[in-house]
């Protein structure tokens, strides 16, 4: 048996941790949903989200979300040969992750479930399973035979207006023009930053789609209340965030976003840059007309906002 590669920030699951994942699987099995079918599991996630929202959307149901994360991760693992569960120890809150066979790529389904749940996202599970499996399987194809390829530390955080794919070595970057999921980024954003970015994006899209002149819109938002505060322009939003004293904040503006996810002279998109003190930001965008167009795009990362 070939041992799994050693990857900084990841370690094999202990027996007790494996047992915990099994208990979470038992929760899904008890639901009598076909856990081998992404659409069936996705329908269960959406139904429980609707029930939670109808009940007032209180505290996140951590146990249930963890079970969903393991179930979705198992679907990804089944579609990505050689992928295996590990414990990601480099995060602020260590937790399970899926590591590619040779160790050059990882996804964190439990974190991704939490962020999408908090943002109220629906009908995402089948697409996520496919994209995450491609992400893990693609790294296998790019690794030299017999060599365990650990993740790069990555370059310095990129300027917001010069985004590019930075998750894996250059061979993957030439094939995949932009990050697919937050875990692709050189400095994966924390779950609270992802939630702030998604909530700000959803709220700003509503305003932009209804605006007679959306190109002039600019806002900033603080994690404490999530309110979109209008300002004159993007520099004013950045200045307000810097002066806020907040632990996490976001700036929001409208600019062109091309088909490769680059900020350019292109159809308009709402762009959100969210971050926390001293950490590279997360930049996401969503194109729109009078309604949102296509899907959310992970644009890249920028220097710390705070």
Residue-range domain boundaries for the chain: 10-151, 191-300
Cβ-Cβ contacts under 8 Å for 27 (sequence gap 6 or more): 63, 64, 67
Residue pair 297/285 in contact (Cβ under 8 Å)? The answer is: yes
Of 163, 205, 207, nearest to 185 (Cα)? 163
User: At 265, is the secondary structure helix, strand, or coil?
Assistant: strand
User: At 211, is the secondary structure helix, strand, or coil?
Assistant: coil
Q: Give CA 179 to chain center in angstroms.
A: 10
Give burial (CB, 10 Å; 0-12/13-18/19+) of 22. exposed
Per-position pLDDT tens, the chain of length 306: 334 444 556 788 888 889 889 988 988 888 888 999 999 999 999 999 999 999 888 888 888 999 999 999 999 999 999 999 998 876 667 789 998 887 778 889 998 999 899 989 999 999 999 999 998 887 544 433 222 222 332 322 222 222 232 232 222 222 334 556 777 777 888 888 988 998 899 899 999 999 999 999 999 999 998 899 999 999 999 999 999 999 999 999 999 988 777 777 788 999 999 999 999 899 999 999 988 888 788 888 888 999
Is the pTM here over 0.85, yes or no? no
Distance (Å) of CA 304 to CA 86, 131, 197, 201:
29, 28, 14, 19
| Rounded CA separation 29/267 (Å) | 45
Tokens 């692709």 identify what position? 184
| Rounded CA separation 306/248 (Å) | 8
Residue pair 131/180 in contact (Cβ under 8 Å)? The answer is: yes
- State the CATH class of domain 10-151: mainly alpha
Predicted pLDDT of residue 153: 29
């Amino acid at each position: 048996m070939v041992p799994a590669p050693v990857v900084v920030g990841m370690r094999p699951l202990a027996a007790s941790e494996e047992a915990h994942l099994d208990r979470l699987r038992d929760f899904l099995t008890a639901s009598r949903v076909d856990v081998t079918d992404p659409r069936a599991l996705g329908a269960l996630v959406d139904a429980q989200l609707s029930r939670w929202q109808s009940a007032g959307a209180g505290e996140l149901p951590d146990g249930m979300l963890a079970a969903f994360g393991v179930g979705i991760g198992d679907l990804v693992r089944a579609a990505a040969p050689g992928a295996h569960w590990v414990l990601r120890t480099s995060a602020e809150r260590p937790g399970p992750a899926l590591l590619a066979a040779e160790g050059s790529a990882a996804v964190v389904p439990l974190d991704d479930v939490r962020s999408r749940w908090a943002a109220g996202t629906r009908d995402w599970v089948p697409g996520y399973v496919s994209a995450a499996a491609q992400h893990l399987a693609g790294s296998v194809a790019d690794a030299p035979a017999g060599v365990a390829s650990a993740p790069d530390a990555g370059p310095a955080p990129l300027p917001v207006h010069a985004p590019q794919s930075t998750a894996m070595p250059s061979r993957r970057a030439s094939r995949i023009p932009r990050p697919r999921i937050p875990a692709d980024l050189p400095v994966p954003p924390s779950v609270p930053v992802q939630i702030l970015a998604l909530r700000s994006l959803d709220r700003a899209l509503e305003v932009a789609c209804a605006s007679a002149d959306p190109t002039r819109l600019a806002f900033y938002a603080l994690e404490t209340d999530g309110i979109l505060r209008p300002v004159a322009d993007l520099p004013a939003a950045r200045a307000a965030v810097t002066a806020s004293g907040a632990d996490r904040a976001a700036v929001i503006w409208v600019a062109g976003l091309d088909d490769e996810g680059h900020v350019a002279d292109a159809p308009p998109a709402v762009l959100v840059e969210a971050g926390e003190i001293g950490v590279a930001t997360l930049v996401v965008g969503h194109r729109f007309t009078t309604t949102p167009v296509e899907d959310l795009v992970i644009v890249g990362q920028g220097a710390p906002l705070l």
